[in-house]
DNA sequence: TTGTAGACTTCAGTCGACT
DNA sequence: AAGTCGACTGAAGTCTACA
């Protein structure tokens, strides 16, 4: 599984768990809604800056966010 | 402190601790030496893909790499 | 509320050469 | 062994609009 796919899945799970719409998350992270959509679908890969902004908006450390991404990759291997 | 600066510092510390040159790390991560240099100096920001490749080359999880980046940010705050 | 599409701008990442 | 510079290409991220 590609990293971008895993990132998208983790991002969506986190967003939903916080009860946010793509629009709301985009507002918090200062990113466009359409771009959040692309990220969740694994169509685009975030830069370090974007990962940082999303982590803050989702109220967790970048390391925790990437840990969840790693878990998605693990799951897909089984 | 900017995220890219913190990333550069963490990256350099890790590379040195592994006893690698920029050239060698670049070979392992499939990235050019000049780009590794730019990253370590905080002049450019890596994409998720690049973070992934560097983590593998440095033999640690992405989450651990970003944890070290967070530590650099913390240190700079004190 | 989310996906998609096209056109656009900015910057990640390459390449070659020199210090 | 590492920094820098200029020119380049592809992809990150924006914007508008519609299903």
Judge contact between B4 and B44, C-beta under 8 A. Answer: yes
Q: How many residues does chain B have?
A: 78
Query: Which residues of chain B are within 8 Å of residue A7 when distances are taken between CB atoms?
Result: 48
Query: Best residue in B48, B52, B53 to probe A by mutation, most A CBs within 10 Å?
Result: B48
- Give B42-61 pLDDT, tens digit per residue: 999 999 999 999 999 999 99
Tell me which residue range forms the domain holding B18. 3-77
Beta bridge partners of B47: A47
A62/B70 Cβ within 8 A? yes
pLDDT the model gives residue A58: 98
CA distance A65 to A50: 12
- The 8-class DSSP code of residue A43 comes to S
Would you say the C-beta of A47 is within 7 Å of strand C?
yes
Neighbours of B26 (CB within 10 A): 19
Q: Give me the DSSP letters along A10-37.
A: HHHHHHHHTT--HHHHHHHHT--HHHHH
Q: What is the pTM of this model?
A: 0.95
From the CA of A57, how many Å to the C1' of C16? 42
Nearest amino-acid residue to D16, taking CA and C1': A34
B45/A47 Cβ within 8 A? yes
- The 8-class DSSP code of residue B47 comes to B
- Give A13-65 pLDDT, tens digit per residue: 999 999 999 999 999 999 999 999 999 999 999 999 999 999 999 999 999 99
CA A26, chain centre distance (Å):
11
Residue A11's CATH number: 1.10.260.40
> How far apart, in Å, do the first and last CA atoms of chain B sit?
11
On the question of pLDDT at B78 being above 90, the answer is no
- The CA distance from B12 to the nearest CA of chain A, in Å, is 16
CA distance B14 to B35: 16
User: In chain B, pLDDT over 70 holds for what percent of residues?
Assistant: 100
Query: What's the domain count of chain B?
Result: 1
């Amino acid at each position: 599984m590609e990293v971008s796919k895993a990132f998208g899945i983790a991002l969506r799970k986190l967003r939903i768990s916080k009860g946010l719409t793509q629009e709301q998350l985009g507002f918090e992270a200062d990113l466009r809604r359409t771009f959040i959509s692309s990220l969740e679908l694994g169509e685009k890969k975030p830069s370090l800056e974007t990962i940082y902004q999303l982590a803050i908006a989702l109220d967790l450390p970048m390391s925790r966010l990437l840990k969840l991404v790693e878990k998605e990759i693990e799951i897909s291997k089984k």
